[in-house]
Amino acid sequence: MTLEELRRLLIAPEIIVIDLTDAALAALRRALLVEHPTLGEFPSDEQSGVRRRAALVLYAADRLHAALQAYRRAVEPILRELPPDDPILTRRDPRTS
């Protein structure tokens, strides 16, 4: 782990969980589309049972992904700022200098 990665982790540890959640959502999306390749963007009235539930899950997963990306964009400016009084977090990584 680089000093920059450590700094980001200490400032916003939830970003790791967001990254893991995004990966899980991508895996879920792939699995649902493999199982139900004709799923549309939103469930239609003609779909029933498992296919309708799969379409609803896919729609919810897409919305959650968008919300997580919006959160990440909101946190990014904070992650770029260096804490002024922490010598560990403000020290430069010699490998990146």
Residue 97, in any domain of the structure: no
Portion of the chain with pLDDT greater than 70, in percent: 75
Q: Tell me, yes or no, whether 96 lies in a domain.
A: no
The whole-angstrom separation of Cα 31 and Cα 26 is: 9
Q: Tell whether 27 is covered by a domain.
A: yes
Tell me how many domains the chain contains: 1
Hey, CA dihedral for 31, 33, 34, 36, is it positive or negative?
A: positive
User: For residue 27, what are the domain limits?
Assistant: 3-90
42 falls within a domain: yes
Query: For residue 93, what is the DSSP state?
Result: P
On average, the pLDDT of the chain sits at 81
Q: Looking at per-residue confidence, does 79 or 15 come out higher?
A: 15
pLDDT tier at 24 (50, 70, 90 boundaries)? very high
What are the pLDDT digits (tens) for 83-93? 655 655 555 55
The single-letter DSSP state of residue 82 is P
Evaluate whether residue 95 is within a structural domain: no
Domain-embedded: residue 50:
yes
Does residue 83 sit within a domain? yes
Q: In whole angstroms, what separates CA 87 from the centre of its chain?
A: 30
Question: Is 24 a member of any domain?
Answer: yes
